[in-house]
Structure 1
Amino acid sequence: MFWTSILKLCNALFLFTLVACGSSTNNDDESHFVENENFVKIPLQASISNVQPMTGLVFWTDNTRALESLGSSVQLEFSYMLFSDVVQQEGEYNWQVIDELLDDIAGRGHQAILRFRYTYPGHTQISVPDSIANSASYNIMFDKVEGKDTFLPDWSHSAFQDFSLQFFVDFAARYDGDPRLAMLQVGFGSYSEYHLYDGPVSLGINFPSKTFQKSFLEKMSSSFNTTQWSISIDAANDVYSPLATTPSLKEADFGVFDDSFMHKEHSNSDSEYNRASWLFFGLDRYKSSMLGGEFSYYSGYDQQHVLNLPDGSWGRSFESFSQQYHLSYIIGNDQYRYQSAQRIKQASLAIGYKFNIESFSASPNQSRVTISNTGIAPIYYDAYPAINGTRSAKSLKGLLPSESRSFEFEIGGQSPVLTIESEHLVLGQKIEYSANL
């Protein structure tokens, strides 16, 4: 009996040692994830019923009738901004103008796309700061653009060039990563769309020199770390832009926008102007930078029928075009006049990211989740899966269409609650997911 008792004690100590060693090995693992816990599948049913933040059809912020009627079917609002609205005297910024606009948009549960501009055909208002426009060496210029008297900035003026570079450095210092701002569009010429269509073009005089443009694009790239920014596809034009002769400039993480999307000849061949411009910037650009544009105004017919099903305005649906170019947004300010609220929501839901829960399991202390992107573009800001409010260390940012990402959590239980959380949302916005588990 004595030796039997001793043998049982030794066996017990041996088993204890094995268990203790096993625990030590798991604790040394970086994820501290216990592989031998009993996981059970968590049933989950969910659908995406609303347009997702930072995606969809965009309406101008002064289109109050459409915004009020469409509600959460709109997630993005567009507004031009004048430089002279923010700066009148050198070094004196009236940021309140921007803050009030962003607060107004966020108050509707939406986010902003802003575009600063100097020139708008038919507008003769001087849009450069007073301190520059009133200097003796600055040349006030007007000319015919699209057949209309139009103000054009003097790009030969060194102080004006310095201001145009410094403005976005200071803007970024204040607004980079601001959740109220989804996208910043920049450029030169008419509407800041990188052209002076039907107007005189004189580089270094009424349009910035290619040397200045190079400095501008480099400054933008170094100033913005979080907020997405983009330029027009017209920057592919070697007459206006240095990008064709300086390919390294295209390596920066900027998006592009197409302001005549789905006109009659759009993408009928790789040599067609819009298609060739998209190809110039690279078909993989969507993987890191938000892409979008505006429905064509080449004709009234374009606007009236662009969202028609199944053939759009010229034989192809919007859904087909948007998938081809991996769009996250499209400005469609007039669509409320021509399409039902249901169709506008349907079109908005067809673009951008969409998250689907592929698998979900939990043990008493841990959870595992696999999420795929069933949309046509990634999400471009950090968004984190969370269990009972505890976020994963990994983000969904950059998850490409048709790809999935797995997440592990040191929290579990019988009924864990899965959400997707982001700091880049305004009050009222929610990132949804679909699931059939």
Structure 2
Amino acid sequence: MVRTYTVAALALVAAVGAGPGAADPRQPLEYAPAPVDNPLKGLVPYQADVRTAFPHSLEFTYLPYSALVTGADAFDWRPLDRALDDIAGRGHQAVFRIFLEYPNKTGAVPAFLLKGGLKVTKWRSAESDGGAIETPDYADKNLRKSLTGFIAALGKRYDGDPRVGFVTAGLLGLWGEWHTYPREELFASTAVQIEVLDAYEAAFKVTPVLLRYPVGAKDDKRAANADRRFGYHDDSFAWATLDTGRRADDWFYMAALKAAGPDAENKWKTCPIGGEIRPEAWGRVFDRAPGHVQIQNFRTCVEATHVTWLMDSGMFAKKQGAERVRRAEEEVRRMGYEFHAPAVTIGDVQKGQLSVRLELENRGVAPFYYDWKPEWGLLADGAAVKAFAGTGKLTGLLPGAKPRVWAETLDVSGVRAGRYALAVRVPNPLKGGKPVRFANTTQAAAGWLALGEVRVP
């Protein structure tokens, strides 16, 4: 029996060439921009149902330490699980951070630690809009034990959880951003920082953890992290990102990255870079004329940092003008990865075996950081007749590198004779999550990238 294609499938096959029997078995595939809301990249709103505001695949949430830690080695995971389930229910993955101090938010320090003698300094700062701040004594032995125990338990429960995209280390400093500026004498010592870094490194092997500041071996106030398995998040993106050369701006992200050394500068190749667009630049950063002298060129910042995701409330807080949205989509699409398949070679079916070689290149600014597995399929009537687990990898494919080849031999011996469309996709392990979609004209919304026609005798 010969299967029939849907009209859409026939159009996809026609677009990629004749397949087997063509004069040149290597068939070029045409480029088209990938979707702005590809998974694990792009702009990130605070946790909310804002799917109609701007395309996105990630949401961010904060939680106070006291919401999860109820005693020595006692944890209540329900608040975090509720947040993750809510975000996952929209097909999105979460970025989250746990904090101990936050302007105008009290009670983040668990009561059992206060009863155990933990001292808290209460103060205010113009740098944090004059809000009341409660900074714990990070040298307290009970707090230190609690932090390392919490991180171990957090990793045991959530490392590799498909609901979670990225974890920002948090825990120390204002907003969990690893500083108490301008009261830096209240911040955690390097010894405490090292304990936290060690704990995160031991607890998380799959889910990436990101730190606020790149730090090299010569810094005497912060623990070195350049040689550790952490990414970074620049939370003053497009405002304090590019190196100005001024000494007063040596804390800017690219200046700090350079000072931290080559390991930090090359971090993006193996660990993700995230962050937040500076509030003063929200929305405006995508305008042709942003209107503030300190707003740095967004595209230049993206290319310099190799950033994958950025928190931004500007594009989600209220309806934006069509031109700003258009420019934002164009610029945000450049963040992170963009995988394009330039060509495919499909062999004839011989003795029930089908050989295929798919060339894959990365046109983005960063690699993909999860080992999601591809899947091949034979499609007919708009559905997969048979799917095959792939062995190809997305991880480690850097922008500008020569194309990677996914070579497979598929066993089609059990497939009924007929004509099919050969396709490939990279499913998201999150139920209902967005699949990785390729930058090709034959990319279907459901995730399948049509490659060409196959005849099974």
TM-score (norm 1): 0.80
Q: 1:313–1:57: structure 2 CA closer, same or farther, 3 Å change rule?
A: farther
Kindly indicate whether the alpha-carbon contact (under 8 Å) linking 1:51 and 1:348 is maintained by their aligned counterparts in 2: no
Comparing 406-415 with 381-390, which one deviates more in the overlay? 406-415
2:434 is equivalent to residue 434 of structure 1 = no
Q: Which residue of 1 aligns with 2:398?
A: 400
CA shift, 1:386, in A, is 2.7
Distance in 1, matches of 2:289 and 2:407, equals 42
CA shift, 1:143, in A, is 1.7
SS of residue in 1 equivalent to 2:154? helix
Bigger CA radius of gyration: 1
2:237 is equivalent to residue 261 of structure 1 = yes
Q: 1:284–1:44: structure 2 CA closer, same or farther, 3 Å change rule?
A: same
Which residue, out of 108, 111, 114, partners 1:133? Answer: 114
Q: How many residues align?
A: 382
Distance in 1, matches of 2:309 and 2:109, equals 29
CA shift, 1:327, in A, is 0.7
SS of residue in 1 equivalent to 2:74? coil
Which residue, out of 308, 320, 325, partners 2:287? Answer: 308
Q: Which amino acid aligns with 2:74?
A: E
Distance in 1, matches of 2:431 and 2:267, equals 27
Q: Which residue of 2 aligns with 1:378?
A: 367
Q: 1:265–1:330: structure 2 CA closer, same or farther, 3 Å change rule?
A: closer
CA shift, 1:304, in A, is 4.9
Tell me the alpha carbon deviations over residues 229-279 of structure 1, each in whole angstroms, 9 at most, x when there is no partner: 111127569464122xxxxx4211101111111227842238532121122
Q: Which amino acid aligns with 1:164?
A: L
SS of residue in 2 equivalent to 1:79? strand
Kindly indicate whether the alpha-carbon contact (under 8 Å) linking 2:337 and 2:365 is maintained by their aligned counterparts in 1: yes
Distance in 1, matches of 2:268 and 2:158, equals 23
2:409 is equivalent to residue 410 of structure 1 = yes
What residue ranges of structure 1 are gaps of 5+ in the alignment? 1-37, 244-248
SS of residue in 2 equivalent to 1:88? strand
Q: Which residue of 1 aligns with 2:132?
A: 149
Q: Which residue of 1 aligns with 2:5?
A: none
Q: 1:138–1:49: structure 2 CA closer, same or farther, 3 Å change rule?
A: closer
Distance in 2, matches of 1:292 and 1:260, equals 11
SS of residue in 1 equivalent to 2:184? coil
TM-score (norm 2): 0.77
CA shift, 1:408, in A, is 1.1
Q: Which residue of 2 aligns with 1:170?
A: 153
Comparing 83-92 with 384-393, which one deviates more in the overlay? 384-393
CA shift, 1:40, in A, is 3.0
Kindly indicate whether the alpha-carbon contact (under 8 Å) linking 2:339 and 2:360 is maintained by their aligned counterparts in 1: yes
Which residue, out of 157, 171, 192, partners 2:176? Answer: 192
Kindly indicate whether the alpha-carbon contact (under 8 Å) linking 2:376 and 2:424 is maintained by their aligned counterparts in 1: yes
- Pick the structure with more helix per residue: 1
Kindly, what percent of the aligned residue pairs are identical? Answer: 24
What residue ranges of structure 2 are gaps of 5+ in the alignment? 1-22, 378-386, 413-418, 442-450, 452-457
Q: Which residue of 2 aligns with 1:421?
A: 426
Which residue, out of 260, 273, 276, partners 2:255? Answer: 276
Relative contact order higher in (CA < 8 Å, ≥ 6 apart)? 2
Q: 1:197–1:335: structure 2 CA closer, same or farther, 3 Å change rule?
A: farther
Q: Which amino acid aligns with 2:399?
A: P
Instruction: Output the aligned Cα RMSD.
Output: 2.6
After superposition, residues 28-427 of structure 1 pair within 5 angstroms as 40-41=25-26, 44=29, 47=32, 48-62=34-48, 64=49, 67-70=50-53, 73-123=55-105, 125-135=106-116, 137-146=117-126, 147-187=130-170, 188-198=172-182, 200-202=183-185, 206-233=186-213, 238=219, 240-243=221-224, 249-263=225-239, 266-269=242-245, 272-273=249-250, 274=252, 275-281=254-260, 282-297=264-279, 300=280, 302-309=281-288, 313-314=292-293, 316-336=296-316, 337=318, 340-363=324-347, 364=349, 365-388=354-377, 389-403=387-401, 404-411=403-410, 415-427=420-432
CA shift, 1:329, in A, is 0.7
CA shift, 1:316, in A, is 5.0
